[in-house]
Structure 1
Amino acid sequence: MTPLRVLTVDDELLALKRLRLLLQTMPHIHHVGEANNCGDAVARIHDLRPNVVLLDIKMRDGSGFEVVEAVAERPNPPAIVFVTAFDQFATQAFDCAIVDYLLKPVESDRLARALSRVQQRLKAIDAEQRADELHQILRNLRSGPGTEGAQGYETEFWLRSSSGLVRVPVDAIDYVTSADEYISIHTPSGSHLMRGSIRQFTHRVEPGLFVRVHRRWLVKRSAIAALSTRPIGRAEVVLRSGQRLPAGRVHMKQLRDLVRSNDGRSLY
């Protein structure tokens, strides 16, 4: 079997290292190189002529879509596998049935399945068809119906679960907690991990929907029923579901005002 020539593109050095180590363990795979920005990626695709590019979507100097656009006109363009930290655009691309995607952190078995899919795809279509598909990706992602709100804010997230990707509407999220490089999204039906920070999450959703109750806790305003003060003086946020979450002292004034403005209910 002819080795599959793979180029990896990501602006995170640890992500590149992880991909490099995983690829080294896989038969019939030749890792031809890597790039950590969009401009370098386009140049290396031209020089190294990989069969497939594992391409990050959001990078410091631009978007992976810009790389796709730059190489779509080239003869014999590579197959593209998007790499993303749960970005909704990758799910859109996958729904077009023309590319695959990998979720960070990339797992060995998922990477192997993606590359197997690429190998089958390359056998089935020629270079001209691949070029047409790259153009179709761009058309679908730019002009198709998006998952963002009217002002550019997210209305849903596609998050990883044990059974694959699940759609989680922002309206279904009760609270968010931070955990190292990830946040945990909590809904009545379960919890899901998402790469990023609470600060990044607040920038992606409509302002005012969530309120900070603790350094590591963010709660949807409409999910708050009341505040409770324990005998030992510790304050808690009581959700409409009955769940109790710790409340930091620096956030108490804002929380009291919020609870009273919601329905006139006071502390108990």
Structure 2
Amino acid sequence: MTISVLTVDDEPLALRRLELILAKLADVEHVGSASGCRDAIEKIADLRPEIVLLDIKMRDGTGFDVLNRLPEDCAPGVIFTTAFDHFAVRAFEAHAIDYILKPIEPSRLRAALDRSRDRLAAVDASEQIAQMRAVIDDLRAGYHEQGVQQGDDELWLRGTAGVLTCIRRGDIDMITAEDDYVRLHTASASYLLRGSIKAAQADLDLAEEEFVRVHRRALLRRSSIASVRRSTEKGVRVILRNGTDVGAGRVYAKKLLRSLAAVG
């Protein structure tokens, strides 16, 4: 049975990636895409897709806003797509609505679509609506509480194999940029997420005073810095406590050295 899918994301590259993945999946018809909340509401009501791949954070609102404003008789299957999921794990698990952590892998999307297909066959429209409203309430509560729960140090991240991993904000030593993605580095592992360094710092609620930019592609935790060395051949090098050697850009190096001198 072919299932119809609508994609919703305010990033053109993300929409294009989803389109390319869906085009390679059997029994899937990509009926359209939307680049924001208002556009998504109109297209879902008009096209009536069976499944919606829905971004959580968009420029004109959230995926929760989209679902709350759908017509009462419109209850598509929902797979949330998000770069940062530390506020949503419990709600998703409690209500059997799937989500995928960016960057989206084809195998993970295929599995999520298969589960949604099975769920659509097993649950009638009225029950889908009731379940969707319940998960929206839980997700919205978690979404708004994340900014005020300063004592909550847990982040839930999904790896490319689909395994959820819990890390502490305090364990992040470094964030580096890799094209359209960022990599979070801890002492024992690293995790790839979609977005910019600036967006990652804001979305993960990392205190600005705890980190220092040493390069346009590298942000370091101040307390993780063991030493700063100046080399004739390699310029300024920042050595972390775990032994990682990071080159500092010329402009950033001057600011770093000034700030360290001020502290000393």
Q: Please state which band the TM-score falls in when normalised by the shorter chain.
A: 0.7 to 0.9
Separation of aligned partners in 2, 1:60 and 1:143? 19
Q: Which runs of 5+ in 2 are unaligned?
A: none
* Identity among equivalent pairs (%): 43
Q: How does 1:28-39 map to 2 (within 5 A)?
A: 28-39=27-38
Helix, strand or coil: the match of 2:209? coil
Aligned length: 261
Separation of aligned partners in 1, 2:53 and 2:117? 14
> Residues 230, 148 of structure 1: CA spacing in aligned structure 2 closer, same or farther, 3 A cutoff?
same
> Residues 86, 254 of structure 1: CA spacing in aligned structure 2 closer, same or farther, 3 A cutoff?
same
Task: Report the equivalent of 2:218.
Answer: 217
The alignment status of 1:195 with 2:204, answered yes or no, reads: no
Amino acid at match of 2:223: S
Task: Report the equivalent of 1:78.
Answer: 76
Q: Pick the structure with greater CA Rg.
A: 1
Aligned-residue offset at 1:14: 3.0
TM-score (norm 1): 0.85
> Residues 257, 151 of structure 1: CA spacing in aligned structure 2 closer, same or farther, 3 A cutoff?
farther
Q: How does 1:111-126 map to 2 (within 5 A)?
A: 111-126=109-124
Amino acid at match of 1:77: A
Task: Report the equivalent of 2:235.
Answer: 234
Q: How does 1:53-92 map to 2 (within 5 A)?
A: 53-71=52-70, 74-92=72-90
Decide whether the 8 Å contact of 1:225 with 1:259 is kept in 2. no
Helix, strand or coil: the match of 1:22? helix
Task: Report the equivalent of 2:19.
Answer: 20
Structure 1 range deviating more: 121-130 or 243-252: 243-252
Q: How does 1:100-111 map to 2 (within 5 A)?
A: 100-111=98-109
Aligned-residue offset at 1:133: 0.9
Cα displacement string for residues 100-124 of structure 1 (whole angstroms, at most 9, x for unaligned residues) = 1123332222121111101111122
Amino acid at match of 1:250: V
Cα displacement string for residues 28-63 of structure 1 (whole angstroms, at most 9, x for unaligned residues) = 323232222211211122122222111111222211
Q: Which runs of 5+ in 1 are unaligned?
A: none
Decide whether the 8 Å contact of 2:88 with 2:142 is kept in 1. no
Aligned-residue offset at 1:27: 3.0
Q: How does 1:42-191 map to 2 (within 5 A)?
A: 42-71=41-70, 74-144=72-142, 148=146, 150=148, 155-163=153-161, 164-191=163-190
Separation of aligned partners in 2, 1:64 and 1:152? 24
TM-score (norm 2): 0.86
Task: Report the equivalent of 1:249.
Answer: 250
Decide whether the 8 Å contact of 1:237 with 1:247 is kept in 2. yes
Helix, strand or coil: the match of 1:27? coil
Amino acid at match of 1:249: R
Decide whether the 8 Å contact of 2:95 with 2:131 is kept in 1. no
